Structure 1
């Protein structure tokens, strides 16, 4: 997802599902206390994708020059 692609519906859905996910984790993982879950938007995927595209463009330009 890019910078503005995290819609309010996605945020609301994840927030609403946090309790369910926490209960399911509690069933599967042996912990005394299962921590509260919070979801935050991570822009690193978009940044990495941008870098990958730039590197691909450089590779194409180098192929043309050879």
Structure 2
């Protein structure tokens, strides 16, 4: 659980700073910021949907998915 925070917190911070940097450099109006948000949200959703179809091999754990004898 703690390892998830190690990945998510810096990723969220970098995303916030990068988004703010892009908006300030391009001098976006409120309307163009909303378009930017919609575009990045749609891209994020599409990548999440693609991630659902990734399959990994199951790891066998003694007592849970495998007998102790095996």
**Short-chain TM bin:** 0.3 to 0.5
What is the TM-score normalised by the length of structure 2? 0.34
What is the TM-score normalised by the length of structure 1? 0.36
